[in-house]
Structure 1
């Protein structure tokens, strides 16, 4: 039996794929679907979020994005949902600029992406507002990444839990307090906080920011605060992002009129408090992009902990300890990279697996 420690979108996706393949599997998490996945906006945007130093992460993201339509269709069917039940949308991301300096950065990024074979469309301010009429008049121009997408992570985790229930996969709603080892040091199971034990042929550590507490992996919590607003009608037709006051802000629309605004990035340890300052910054910056957000109802505020690694790449694959596999450290990309993570662990992406192999951190693998 495989034991998956972690019930976020990554851990649940792994459990689902293993169950579909006929392997016995159990998930351990005190509150499945209520961690970083619950706070996430669900942007599937490897192109619009690219940076010059993270080409390996871009490769992983693009490969995983290609898998998302099939992943979503199979999951919806397995969970008994109607097609489109996960609110997966592929209308692209619009990255906007307010001044000449911002436009120069976007132009440089467009040239860079073109060299990588990932062309984007340059737009004037007027063209941006034609696409999104609610944008501020001060928007000078932008880039449209037409291949980017987004999904509702809360629907995804709910669907994964439903699919696992339909396949009679046990979900143990307890915290994993430690790993069980045999006399040779191999991992042979999990010790639960209540004192119980689960024996396993393999333990997959997908506990996000809490992974380091179980295995000492180089993963740290990165706090992100997110605000959800509600409108009778969708305010935007696609994801919109931009740099305001030196920080990146994004707005992600849902089909039901919800608008997700995020996100702060704070090195605050395991602090998950929602703060007035964090929400003020989000709303202030979002208003610069779309002035109408200040008229919307606030429906939810939440803070989650992203699992960051030193190089911002996830840890996916066998550890240096027999019986222990890592699937953690996805930072801001857990939702995007969930299909690829399962593929790597199923042996379907051998070339890309090298980019996220835990062995690159020799002291921890």
Structure 2
């Protein structure tokens, strides 16, 4: 028997949940505070890397394990989405590269020590590279870096196309999508303006929009820059280890790249600061001097939803399911969190071969 379900928030998790519920026949209503063509979710601004090995020195066991599980689940979810829509979302499975300049070799040494401590050094998880290896993997980095690591199991998604196709797939399956519709909670009631919303269940995926409802939730500012440089041809995400920041450069196709590094304890959504822009662009030049002639396409900011422990939360109390606190790990965590929700959301939410018994026994990479 189908259910009447409200999803609050049309970001990555909200869109995934709405698609999975509507395709099995539930009546789904999605309330999104953003406007068409003007996304506000952190999922839109993100680089969309599924990189648990790169993150391992910086994250706890749970985030790492969830990320490993997501590496297994993303291809299955994207296959289902292609079946529903006929559209294949680009999913880069060429791994990622970690490099450092000679003056920052201590960062590589520290990374190697962390990976060894976790038993993750090896050809299938973190492979040490020489300058010749780097030249083979990414010829345009040749001569700039003498050592690094290749993390062959990591991936990256075209998040902007994914979000658009997820929304279209959910609507095609019968979901109703309401833009410019900020929903808030008053006691046990969910309100759109002064109108009370009724349903069998509410799923709250508002991210930073839920600050008043989720104790300790805060926004952490992130900044990125998009550039175009057809002369540089990188095939996979590259991370530059540095004492002050860990920068990433992600190829986006057609000579476009997304660069990011900043993580600022601020809920300021104003444009990118001059200092941040100079630091990011200087680091871009440090990765590939050929990028000096790159053209700046956009500078973007957003807020990532973070809890004090930087871990995700799932609260299934009452008729409302709350999922939040994905921080800067949205694409790393989302499929694993969907799987964790499967027992609460019932049969048909996920393919049978993706459902676990609700325990964390599968969380081994």
TM-score range, shorter chain: 0.7 to 0.9
- The alpha carbon displacement at 1:55 in A equals 1.4
1:77 aligns with 2:83: yes
Match of 2:106 in 1: 101
1:114 pairs with 2:122? no
Paired residue for 2:20, among 9, 17, 27?
17
**Is 2:169 the partner of 1:163?**
yes
SS of residue matched to 1:351: coil
Work out which of the residue numbers 31, 49, 53 in structure 2 matches 1:47: 53
| Match among 326, 331, 335 for residue 330 of structure 1 | 326
Q: Report deviation, 1:96.
A: 0.9
Rounded to whole Å, the distance in 2 between the matches of 1:53 and 1:300 is: 29
> What runs of 5+ residues in structure 2 fail to find an aligned partner?
344-354
**What TM-score do you get using the length of structure 1 for normalisation?**
0.87
Offset of residue 115 of structure 1: 5.0
- Asked whether the equivalents of residues 220 and 307 of structure 1 are also in contact (C-alpha less than 8 Å), the reply is yes
How big is each residue's C-alpha offset from its partner over 1:148-201, in whole Å with a ceiling of 9 and x where there is no partner?
0001111110011110121121111133342255xxxxx4x52113x3332122
- Write the mapping of 1:176-187 to structure 2, written as runs, cut at 5 A: 176-179=182-185, 181=187, 187=188
1:197 aligns to what? 196
Is 2:12 the partner of 1:6? no
Match of 1:351 in 2: 359
Q: Could you tell me how far 1:77 is from its partner in structure 2?
A: 2.8
Q: How do 1:243-322 residues align onto structure 2 when only pairs under 5 Å count?
A: 243-319=241-317, 322=318
Rounded Cα–Cα distance in structure 1 between residues aligned with 2:8 and 2:362: 23
User: How far, CA to CA, are the matches of 2:131 and 2:101 in structure 1?
Assistant: 9
1:154 corresponds in structure 2 to: 160
Cα–Cα, structure 1 residues 2 and 234, in superposed 2: closer, same or farther, change >3 Å? farther
Equivalent residue in structure 2 for 1:129, among 132, 135, 145: 135
Tell me how many residue pairs correspond in the alignment.
Answer: 342
